[in-house]
């Protein structure tokens, strides 16, 4: 699961929409990862379904639960689809209006955070060259570079990547 957050300035602590586009400043999206090879071998079954766009149903015996999100991505969705529809592009557009933006990914180990943000391990270490597997990070950089090259303005860009694991913060 990942969240996208934005704020115009450090002094602004209210939650009203300051971007002026009529959309919420917080977007909650969830991506359901496909079952792993090990899970398929054990004959595990999927327990998460998206019966209606923006909803996620957790099937747990007789206690099914339905949750609502701004976006729900099914296991077979592409990296491109996630980038186009999760709200990150909107945040990047707001960066060019002077907003500071944050993408926050969280979930248990093995839930797909790194895949969604960066793509598969083999994209960096195994010789995989297929751009379609690039994650939100690479796609965001490409989008920003395309935007900056189409204007005569000068830009100063900065990015920070942190990982919090077992209550330890690591600068990536």
pLDDT tens across 4-13, in order?
A: 444 333 333 3
User: According to the model, what pLDDT value does residue 6 have?
Assistant: 41
Q: Which residues are annotated as a binding site for ATP?
A: 107-114
Domain count along the chain:
1
Mean pLDDT for the stretch of residues 98-108: 90
Q: Residue 22: which CATH number?
A: 3.40.850.10
- The residues, ordered by sequence, that sit 6+ positions from 171 with a Cβ below 8 Å of its Cβ are 160, 161, 162
CA distance 109 to 126: 21
- Band of residue 78 on the pLDDT scale cut at 50, 70, 90: very high
CA distance 98 to 48: 38
Per-residue pLDDT at 19 exceeds 60: no
pLDDT in tens, 110-150: 899 989 999 887 777 777 678 888 999 999 999 999 999 88
Mean pLDDT of the chain: 83
- Entry pTM: 0.79
- The residues, ordered by sequence, that sit 6+ positions from 107 with a Cβ below 8 Å of its Cβ are 1, 113
| Ramachandran angles phi, psi of 119, nearest 5° | 100, 180
Q: Which residues are annotated as a binding site?
A: 107-114
**What domain range is 139 assigned to?**
2-171
Per-residue pLDDT at 21 exceeds 70: no
CA distance 94 to 83: 15
């Amino acid at each position: 699961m990942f969240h996208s957050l934005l704020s115009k300035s450090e002094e602004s602590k209210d939650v009203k929409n300051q971007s002026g586009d009529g959309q919420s400043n917080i977007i909650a999206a969830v991506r359901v990862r496909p079952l792993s090879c090990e899970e398929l071998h054990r004959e595990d079954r999927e327990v998460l379904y998206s019966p209606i766009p923006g909803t996620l149903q957790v099937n747990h015996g007789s206690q099914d639960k339905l949750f609502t999100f701004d976006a729900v991505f099914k296991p077979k969705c592409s990296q491109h689809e996630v980038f186009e529809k999760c709200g990150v592009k909107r945040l990047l557009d707001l960066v060019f209006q002077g907003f500071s933006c944050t993408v926050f990914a969280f979930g248990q180990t093995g839930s797909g955070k790194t895949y969604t943000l960066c793509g598969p391990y083999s994209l960096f270490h195994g010789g995989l060259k297929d751009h379609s597997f690039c994650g939100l990070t690479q796609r965001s950089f490409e989008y920003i570079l395309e935007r900056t090259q189409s204007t005569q303005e000068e830009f100063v860009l900065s990015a920070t990547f942190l990982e919090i694991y077992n209550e330890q913060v690591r600068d990536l």
